[in-house]
Amino acid sequence: MQVEFKENAEIKQYTTFKIGGNVKGLYLPANQQEFVSLLNELDNYIVLGNCSNVLFSSNGYSGNVILTSSMKNFEIRGTHVIASAGVKGPLLAQKACENSLSGFEFMIGFPGSIGGEIFMNAGCHGQNISDTLTRCCLYDKEKKEVVYKEKSEMEFSYRHSILHDGRYILLGAEFELSKKPKEEIQALMDRNLAFRKEIQPSLAIPNAGSVFKNPPNDSAGRLLDKAGAKNFDMPRVKVWDRHANFIINKGDATSEDVLELMVKMYTAVRDIYTIELKPEIIYIGDKTGKEEELCNILYKKMIK
């Protein structure tokens, strides 16, 4: 079995932020069999999907990266949907609509893959990925075997799942959607897309989605807006002028640029509201001394 492999690959071309140096090895399995084979063989690796909520270090990453973006298999049987980890949310939302199935409308404007969305229990507009999920197919890193977990075992909460603990890696998932008129589903997706276009930056503009998680009973965007973050504009990065919880790469930004702006945003809210926002963006890579300091402020507990 020959898995697509790229040595010393520049990771930024695969991320929505368009930031990141070279990684030791980049693997792109095409199906579950190739994916599991890799997981059995490799020791030092991280698994990512569409790289839409990550910030890679401009210094690169001295480990291996497995991207599931080539794992695009899915099938629809009645109201039952089975999808591999790498299937993109917008595609699945559109296919569900074509089959008069409701439950994925919120995903139409998300750049992420099913694996990433389940990892963080993604959601918006009153819908979450966990709402329709019934079962997950996982790789157990401790036992080195494929296992299945029901929705009740996935420990879903706000932007969290059992996948955060690091033992399990998502291979695929099963969903149960509900029948609705196609016109109603399309209308809701159109509204969701219109909202995104009005408020959030286009996917054509390099960004990594929401920067910070919403604190309990509040909105990170609202707090950042009130703290004046929309005016934060640095030479290579800036806060999006229509929504204060997005950072834009002006074209040649580094990971350090982004972290500096994140700390500025975090500090503004902390100083005014005594609320410490938690990053939604995941930082990955080999840090400079400056980045170590910035990550210590933002993440408290160090990341890979």
59 in the same domain as 15: yes
pLDDT at 301: 55
How many structural domains are present in the chain? Answer: 3
30 in the same domain as 52: yes
What's 86's domain CATH number?
Answer: 3.30.465.10
Confidence of residue 196 (pLDDT cuts 50, 70, 90): confident
The answer to whether the beta carbons of residues 12 and 21 sit under 8 Å apart is yes
**pTM, two decimal places:** 0.91
85 in the same domain as 41: no
162 in the same domain as 97: yes
Task: Give the H/E segment covering residue 165.
Answer: none
Q: How big is the chain, counted in residues?
A: 304
Residue pLDDT, tens place only, 277-301: 999 999 999 999 999 999 999 998 5
Beta partners for residue 119, in sequence order: none
The answer to whether the beta carbons of residues 73 and 30 sit under 8 Å apart is no
26, 29, 33, 39 alpha-carbon torsion, rounded to 10°: 20
pLDDT of 183 > 90? The answer is yes
| Domain stops at, among 165, 197, 229 | 197
Residue pLDDT, tens place only, 222-273: 999 999 999 999 999 999 999 999 999 999 999 999 999 999 999 999 999 9
- Sign of the CA dihedral with 202 first, then 106, 244, and 162 last: negative
Residue pLDDT, tens place only, 36-94: 999 999 988 999 998 989 999 999 999 999 999 999 999 999 999 999 999 999 999 99
- Judge whether 148 lies within some domain: yes
Confidence of residue 302 (pLDDT cuts 50, 70, 90): very low
Residue pLDDT, tens place only, 100-139: 999 999 999 887 899 999 999 988 878 899 999 999 999 9
Active site residues: 159, 210, 280
pLDDT of 304 > 60? The answer is no
- Judge whether 211 lies within some domain: no
Q: What is the DSSP string of 95-107?
A: HHHHTTEES-GGG
What's 261's domain CATH number?
Answer: 3.90.78.10
Domain that holds residue 293: 220-299
**Amino acid, res. 206:** P
- Judge whether 304 lies within some domain: no
pLDDT at 197: 86
Q: Six-digit token pair at 88?
A: 């993109």
